[in-house]
Amino acid sequence: MGRKFIDCREIPRKTKWSVAISADSEEELLEAAVQRAVRVHEDTPELRQQIKTAFKERTQPAEVPPRSA
């Protein structure tokens, strides 16, 4: 089983984040991503589900074009 990965640049929203997080398990990745997200959003089951839908199984972040300022 490969590492789980989330690249916050791939999640559409008003707040632009450039954070990428990886972990050996989905549970560990979810907790780390939720800790990051609750700085801006309320921790809800819906938020957790949205985060989980962005998980990928890989070790490198996706190539995303640079954001315009």
pTM of this prediction? 0.67
Q: For position 28, what pLDDT does the model report?
A: 94
Q: For position 65, what pLDDT does the model report?
A: 55
Q: For position 69, what pLDDT does the model report?
A: 52
Torsion of CA 33, 10, 51, 16, to 10 degrees: 60
Q: For position 60, what pLDDT does the model report?
A: 57
Q: For position 1, what pLDDT does the model report?
A: 59
CA distances, 13 to each of 3, 24, 57 (Å): 25, 26, 22
Q: What ranges do the domains of the chain cover?
A: 4-57
Give the whole-angstrom CA distance, residue 33 versus residue 5.
10
pLDDT tens per residue, range 5-54: 888 888 776 777 788 898 989 999 999 999 988 887 888 899 899 889 88
